[in-house]
Each structure stands twice: as C-alpha cells, then as structure tokens.
A and B are shown apart, each in its own frame.
Chain A
C-alpha cells in the first residue's frame, strides 16, 4: 500500500530526472557544435567586402556585441539607432551615416574582432572612401555610458562630428 502510494511520486521524479538529463545532453551537443563550428570568412577579404556598406563612399557606425544580448548592448543599440535616425534626418534624410550590428563571437567575424581589438560591446566608426577603409575610430569605453542616454548621445554626437571633420581636413 505504502509502495503504491509512493509510486506516482517516484515515477514523476524519474521522468524529471531523465528529461533534465536529455536536455543537458542535447545542450552539450549544441555546445560542441558551436565550439567546433569553423565557418570563417575567406582569406584576404577586405573590410569593405565584409561589412558591405551601401556605397563605396560611406561613413559607418558598427556596434559589436556578443550573441548573448544584455542590457549594455541593447541600450547602446537603442541610443545609437535613435541618435543616427535624427542625425541622418538632419542631413537630408539619406543614410549618410549607416548603422550596423556585428556579433563578436561569430567565427565569421574573427578578423574584425582582431582588427578592431574588441572585447565587449564596442562602437567603431569607419569611413570608406572609394571602397577602401580610410579612417577608423574604436570607442572602447562607450559601454560605460550605457545607463545614461543623454551622456551617451552627447558623446556619440561629439565623436561623429569630430570624426567626420577630421576626415574632411
């Protein structure tokens, strides 16, 4: 009688145990697949070919972030997107400064991570001229302002203005 009363609980625990173990096993398979995934960009590809801007002469703001999104990079994306919308509208409506997202822990971006020395959510300003990288600025510490939209936007405006001005000089 006692055994019969306990049986449903034992069965439930066994089911939970095996469901969890199968989930762990499946997760480990995905982990191994992700770790061993060696998809990469072709050797010698240029930054222009990889980032694929709209035109051969383009100013770009690239936000590098990890696949796992968190408050820091989500805020940075939201602030940057909002600022550039207003900025581009003020410049006549076209995408004079283009915004792009790139994943740091994507094997296809290994060369970009090395090139720009990014280790966390990072903004990179790039000027392409005639399909070639002419000027680059890496804003490594932009993440520190991710909780202050006003300060972040002011910093970004200042950096973009001086960056473009430097390019014209």
Chain B
C-alpha cells in the first residue's frame, strides 16, 4: 500500500517536472497561451482546461495500454513520435494561434445541422482543446520522452495501473499550465482594463504563433 502511494505520488511529481522542465519550454508557453486565450468566461475556461487535460490523458492512456500490453515497443514509439508528432506541432501551433489572434476566420455558410448551429450560436469555441491537448502530450522532447518512457511506463506496468498512473501524470503535467493560465486571466480581470481583456486572446494567439515558428524552425528547418 505504502509503495503504491509513493508510486502514485511519483507520477504526479514527474508530471509536474515534465512541464516545468526547460526542454519542453516552448510547448509549455504555447499551452499557457492557448488556455489563457479563452478568458472571456471563467466557466468556459475551466471547461477548456478540462478538455485539454482529457486530451493529455487520452494520449498517455492509449500509449500506456499499447506499451503495457506489449503491442508496441518503447524504442519504436519514442522514435516514431519524434518522427511525426514532434514535427507537426510547430505548424499546428501557428494555425491555432492564427485562429486565436483572429488572423483566420471561418465563416460557416453551409447548412451545418442543428447540433453545429447550436454550438456556433452559443459561441462555444473550445472543443479544439481536446485534440490540442492530445497532440501536445504526444510531442515529446528528449527529456520528456526519457521521463515518460523511462519512469512512468515502467512504474505503471510494475503496479498494473495503465489508467490511474497516466491519469495522475497527466494531472501533474496540466496542473502548472492551468494554474499559470488562471493567474494570468485573473490578473488581467482584476486590473479591470477592458482593452486588456479584449486583447488577451490576441496576445495569446501571437504567443502560440511565435512558439510555433520557433519549433518549426528548430525541428524542421535547421
């Protein structure tokens, strides 16, 4: 029991360490930009944070299940993710940042059905937080790959916890992002300046664009 509690605590701590590590700093900044961009309503932002967390969890859970069942091998996955998801994160951040900074707008002119119309009328933008979280989670850098494949996965396999341990790890990883995003939004709201509140999503979008350019140049162009 004691061993289990220590292992569970280790998962949360390694999740936090993963996020505050300098190695994935650019994606961390981009994630904070993404989350703090939904600052119009606190309830809406909470929903976005939860969807982002769910994305993280889904990716880690799927990986943990595939690895613990022996369907795929750790070196293959680590190499494969570096070859694919790590490369695509830069361009993806630029596109999402452009939407957030209102450099791109999509006008729905086609008949989208009742459900979609309801979503658009309610101005419910934020569903993209789920795939965004899932992709950012898979964009491992060398240090996060070492922590995930070298510490978390062996721990989850040893304790037979392919769901709980990745969940705790995802919680730990998203926690610093959520706290910083809430603090930024709360700070801007407390200031009471309406212009800053209106500008925050645009600034967040530009932070994502710059992070995306940096990642694309570093991982693709150099």
Contact = CB atoms under 8 A, between A and B. Distances in A.
A33 to B, nearest CB: 9
B94 A23 contact: yes
Contacts of B86: 68
Interface string B166-187: 0000000000000000000000
A67 interface: yes
Interface string A122-162: 00000000000000000011011000000000000000000
Given A23-B94, A35-B84, A119 B143 contact: no
Nearest to A76: B142
Interface residues of A, number: 36
Contact of A110 (B74, B79, B141, B219): B79
Contact of A119 (B95, B98, B145): B145
B103 interface: yes
Contacts of A110: 79
B78 A68 contact: no
Nearest to A65: B142
A114 B91 CA distance: 30
Interface in A92-133: 104-105, 110, 113-114, 117-121
B103 A20 contact: yes
Interface in B60-84: 73-79, 82-84
Nearest to A13: B103
B123 to A, nearest CB: 23
Say what secondary structure dominates the interface of chain A: helix
A80 to B, nearest CB: 15
A34 B149 contact: no
Given A68-B82, A120-B145, A20 B22 contact: no
Q: Size range of the interface on B?
A: 35 or more
A13 B101 CA distance: 11
B29 interface: no
Contacts of B75: 113-114, 117-119
Given A23-B213, A66-B142, A105 B79 contact: yes
B141 A70 contact: yes
B216 interface: yes
Contact of B23 (A28, A34, A72, A144): A72
Contact of A17 (B104, B145, B213): B104
B87 interface: yes
B94 A24 contact: yes
A117 to B, nearest CB: 5
B146 A72 contact: yes
A31 interface: yes
Nearest to B86: A68
Interface in A66-85: 66-73
Nearest to A18: B103
Interface in A15-34: 16-17, 20-21, 23-24, 27-28, 30-31, 34
Contacts of A144: 146
B94 to A, nearest CB: 5
B78 A119 contact: yes
B79 A104 contact: yes
B74 A66 contact: no
A27 B78 CA distance: 22
Interface of B: 22-23, 73-79, 82-84, 86-88, 90-91, 94-95, 98, 103-104, 141-143, 145-146, 149-150, 209, 213, 216, 218-221
Given A23-B94, A34-B83, A114-B73, 8 more contacts: A16-B103, A17-B98, A23-B213, A27-B94, A35-B83, A70-B22, A70-B23, A120-B150
5 contacts: A27-B91, A27-B220, A69-B142, A119-B74, A119-B79
